[in-house]
Amino acid sequence: MHVHVNAAESVDGKLSTREREQVAISGEADFDRMDALRADADAVMVGVGTVLADDPSLTVKDDARRDRRASSGQPPNPARVVADSRARTPSAATVLDDDAATYVLVSEAADEEAIEALADAGATVVVAGDERVDLAGAFEGLADHGVERLMVEGGGELIFSLFAADLVDRLTVYVGSTVVGGREAPTLADGDGFADPESFPELTLTDVERMDDGVVLSYDA
């Protein structure tokens, strides 16, 4: 599976505010770039923290892109994937609507009733890991469902875990020119952090592009 992480951060590295309120960090051009990445993916993934904070749809917004997908035999929208160890995704969440297929990755610790509620809401539930979702194991399950190109949008907890598990192939990050601040505000990679410099993931910078009021940095991982 090819895993592409794409996110937008403020110049001080924040994904949103300390209240975890969604902010438009990038502008029209970058949202269009993100839409193109979604259209090129088999599935778009977030952590349950993003679902609870933003209630995103994760769908392709541009009609022509959806039409192109449909005419090449793909569903108009990529599937949605939520990493959600304890099945906390609300049944009314937008990611569970009929616009696309949705996979919810849970762990063995998830409550049976909560899993059933997700299945009743139309999700396909993939179980991997004891307490927390084992991302590598869950990705094997997704591959069995035909997911080869996975785009991950965040948030910072999930992105850190993907780097820690060495599952990231490509990173693109829009760096805007706003300062959000706040030690509690989510950053691109949160989690426990890497303590040993020997374990820092080293990326290869492949491109720098000016866009809107910021820059898009592209890396191979």
Ligand X SMILES: NC(=O)C1=CN([C@@H]2O[C@H](COP(=O)(O)OP(=O)(O)OC[C@H]3O[C@@H](n4cnc5c(N)ncnc54)[C@H](OP(=O)(O)O)[C@@H]3O)[C@@H](O)[C@H]2O)C=CC1
Q: Footprint of ligand X on residues 97-136 (CB under 6 A)?
A: 132-133, 135
User: Is 78 in contact with 44 (CB distance < 8 Å)?
Assistant: yes
Q: Footprint of ligand X on residues 82-101 (CB under 6 A)?
A: 83-86, 88
47 binds, among ligand LIKH6CAM, ligand X, none (CB under 5 to 8 A by kind): ligand X
Binding site for ligand LIKH6CAM (CB under 6 A): 8, 22-26, 30, 34, 46, 50, 54, 56-59, 153-154, 174
Q: Footprint of ligand X on residues 188-207 (CB under 6 A)?
A: 190
185 binds, among ligand LIKH6CAM, ligand X, none (CB under 5 to 8 A by kind): none
57 binds, among ligand X, ligand LIKH6CAM, none (CB under 5 to 8 A by kind): ligand LIKH6CAM
> Is residue 15 packed enough to be buried (19+ CB in 10 Å), middle (13-18) or exposed (0-12)?
buried
Q: Write down the least CB distance from residue 31 to ligand LIKH6CAM, Å.
A: 6
157 binds, among ligand LIKH6CAM, ligand X, none (CB under 5 to 8 A by kind): ligand X
- Indicate whether 214 belongs to the interface with ligand X (CB under 6 A): no
Structure tokens at 155: 């948030």
Q: Write down the least CB distance from residue 112 to ligand LIKH6CAM, Å.
A: 28
85 binds, among ligand X, ligand LIKH6CAM, none (CB under 5 to 8 A by kind): ligand X
Q: Report the distance separating Cα 49 and Cα 159, nearest Å.
A: 12
Q: Which residue has the tokens 């599937």?
A: 79
User: Which residue lies nearer to ligand LIKH6CAM by CB, 103 or 127?
Assistant: 103
Chain residues binding ligand X by CB under 6 A are: 7-8, 15-16, 20, 22, 25, 46-50, 53-54, 83-86, 88, 132-133, 135, 153-158, 161, 186, 190
